[in-house]
Structure 1
Amino acid sequence: MNDLLKYKDYLATINYSAEDEVFYGRIFGINDLVTFEGTSVSGLKKAFQEAVNDYIATCRELDKTPEKSYKGVFNVRVPANLHKKAALAATKNSITLNEFVKAAIAYAVDHEKDIDQTLHLA
C-alpha cells in the first residue's frame, strides 16, 4: 500500500527509491501528471505543497478545472469463473450484474481495512 499525503483537499501517493535515496510522489485524482520529490520527509511535504500550489495556479491561468472527472464507467477484467459466480449471485438476488458489481465495490470501499488485510494474506 502506498502512503498518502494530503494538502488543500489534494492527495498524493508516496514512494521511496532506495537506489536514488529519494522520496517521490504523484498528485492523485487530477487530469495531469504532477510529480514531486524530496530527500527527507519534510522536504517531500514541502515539495508536495509547492506542486499543489503551482498546479492550482497553472489551472487558473489556463482556465482549466483541476480535478479529474470520474464518469462512473470503467472496464474490469475478471476470470471467467468469477464472472460466472458474480452473474449467478446477481440472478439469485434478482438484480443485474451491474447492480451486483456496484454493491460489491461499495462494500469493499466501506470495508477497506478488512479488504487490505485479506489481500495481503492471499
Structure 2
Amino acid sequence: MKNIMLINGHQAVISYDPDIGMFRGEFLDLNGGADFYAADVAGLQREGQLSLSVYLQECTRRGIEPRKNFSGKFLLRVAPEIHETAAIAAAACGESLNQWVSDAIMKQARDAAGLSHAK
C-alpha cells in the first residue's frame, strides 16, 4: 500500500513531517482527531494502536459514533472541456456520466491505496 497503514481495521494515511523529523499517521474514517507520530514503522503501529484505542474509548464514554458517515454525494467542479470530454467518454462506454466518473474515481482510489482493481 502507498502511504496507508492498516491498524485494527482502520486505514491511516502516513506522511513525513520534516520539521520534526517524524512520521505522522492520521485516521481519515473517524469523526474526530486520532492522529499519531513516530520515528519508524514499529513506532507508528504502536502509537496508532494506542491513539485509536483512546479515541474509541472516549467515543464509547461520550456515546459518540466513532466512524464518519459518507453520504455518497459530493459536488465536483471541473472545467467545461473536462465535463464535455467525460460526458462523451461515458456515452461511448454506454454508461451514465455518474457511473463513469464513479468507476474512474474508484480505479484511482484503489491505485493510490495499492489495492486490487476488482469491483
Q: What TM-score do you get using the length of structure 2 for normalisation?
A: 0.77
Closer, same or farther in 2 for the Cα pair 1:63/1:108, shift >3 Å?
A: same
| Larger CA deviation: 94-103 vs 9-18 | 94-103
| Larger CA deviation: 23-32 vs 50-59 | 23-32
Pairwise CA RMSD: 2.5
SS of equivalent to 1:43 = helix
SS of equivalent to 1:88 = helix
SS of equivalent to 1:65 = coil
Partner of residue 55, structure 2: 55
Report the Cα offset of residue 42 of structure 1. Answer: 2.1
Q: Whole-Å Cα distance in 1 between the matches of residues 24 and 109 of structure 2?
A: 26
SS of equivalent to 2:75 = coil
Identity of aligned residues (%): 27
Q: What TM-score do you get using the length of structure 1 for normalisation?
A: 0.76
Partner of residue 115, structure 2: none
Report the Cα offset of residue 92 of structure 1. Answer: 4.3
Closer, same or farther in 2 for the Cα pair 1:70/1:18, shift >3 Å?
A: same
Closer, same or farther in 2 for the Cα pair 1:17/1:2, shift >3 Å?
A: farther
| Larger CA deviation: 61-70 vs 83-92 | 83-92
1:21 alignment partner AA: G
Q: Whole-Å Cα distance in 1 between the matches of residues 59 and 89 of structure 2?
A: 45
Give aligned pairs, total: 113
Bigger radius of gyration among the two:
1
**Structure with higher RCO (Cα < 8 A, 6+ apart):** 2
Partner of residue 73, structure 2: 73
Closer, same or farther in 2 for the Cα pair 1:56/1:91, shift >3 Å?
A: same
Unaligned stretches of 5+ in structure 2? 113-119
2:8 alignment partner AA: K
